[in-house]
């Protein structure tokens, strides 16, 4: 599978997931599991675990808001109906399942090309040079933000303001951590964009590094694109009949 095929496969799956209802997610999950088993292998278990860790807090928050507080789904509110907590639970389950599929898909694609560097992956894409440049700079900023968060966390730990485990101190001083992370991230990103990149001519040096490498779609790519299109069509038919 090539990077172009993986990106196209992911785009089709994401569009189909957004446009489908609860019943329509079933064929998409089948296609996702096939992709995980054939293209990723055992590393797919790590992707599933990461997606679950990302989605569990969000799902818990949505349960508290929609099921516990609101007590009815947004479709009931829009229609002016009394609704029920069951409809709110169905809405939360659908949204959580849809987001879990998307997050897991992104993780699986990343694991599929884990042996390649982000630069080589972006170089192989058949997109305009401006898009390649934007993707690389965005990934650089994301890595910068991650290091900024680590530095802010380490500094507050060393100062004794927060602790490593669960504690009352973390609860009372959590806002300090948020402010520190925000200020550190803003300062670092501003320094890169305003000073570091212009001095090092980063943008100008990206074009030669990203030139070429646009690989055509392979036979495997065509097969996975057909599978994604079929799963998307099946999801729309299932959603239509369920409605």
What is the pLDDT, as a whole number, of residue 243?
A: 63
Could you tell me if 44 and 37 are in contact, meaning their C-beta atoms sit under 8 angstroms apart?
A: yes
Q: For residue 15, what pLDDT band results from cuts at 50, 70 and 90?
A: very high
Q: For residue 132, what pLDDT band results from cuts at 50, 70 and 90?
A: confident
Tokens read off for 217: 């779609």
- Please state the separation of Cα 21 from the chain's center in Å: 20
Q: For residue 229, what pLDDT band results from cuts at 50, 70 and 90?
A: very high
The Cα–Cα gap between 121 and 129 comes to 14
57 pLDDT higher than 70: yes
- If we measure between CA atoms, which residue out of 140, 138, 144, 145 comes closest to residue 181? 145
39 pLDDT higher than 80: yes
Point out the least confidently predicted range of 171-175, 217-221, 234-238: 171-175
| Secondary structure letter of residue 116 according to DSSP | S
241 pLDDT higher than 80: no
Query: What value does the mean pLDDT take over residues 31-46?
Result: 90
68 pLDDT higher than 90: no
The string of pLDDT tens digits covering residues 170-189 is 788 878 878 887 887 788 87
215 pLDDT higher than 80: no
Instruction: Please state the φ and ψ torsions of residue 210, each to the nearest 5 degrees.
Output: -100, -5
């Amino acid at each position: 599978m090539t990077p172009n095929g993986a990106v196209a496969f992911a785009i089709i799956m994401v569009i189909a997931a957004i446009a489908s209802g609860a019943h329509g997610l079933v064929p998409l999950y089948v296609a996702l599991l096939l992709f995980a088993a054939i293209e990723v292998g055992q590393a797919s278990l790590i992707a599933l675990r990461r997606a679950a860790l990302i989605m569990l807090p969000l799902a818990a928050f949505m349960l508290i808001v929609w099921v516990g507080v609101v007590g009815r789904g947004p479709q009931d509110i829009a229609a002016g109906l009394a609704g029920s907590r069951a409809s709110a639970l169905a809405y939360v389950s659908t949204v959580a399942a849809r987001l879990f599929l998307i997050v897991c898909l992104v993780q699986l694609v990343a694991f599929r090309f884990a042996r390649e560097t982000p630069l080589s992956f972006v170089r192989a894409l058949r997109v305009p040079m401006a898009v390649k440049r934007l993707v690389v700079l965005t990934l650089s900023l994301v890595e910068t933000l991650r290091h900024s968060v680590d530095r802010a966390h380490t500094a507050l730990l060393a100062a004794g303001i927060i602790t490593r485990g669960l504690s009352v101190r973390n609860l009372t001083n959590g806002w300090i951590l948020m402010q520190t992370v925000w200020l550190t991230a803003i300062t670092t990103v501003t320094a890169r964009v305003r000073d570091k990149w212009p001095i090092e001519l980063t943008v100008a040096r990206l074009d030669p590094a990203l030139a070429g490498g646009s690989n055509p779609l392979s036979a495997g790519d065509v097969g996975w694109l057909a599978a994604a299109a079929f799963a998307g069509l099946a999801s729309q038919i299932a959603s239509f009949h369920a409605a």
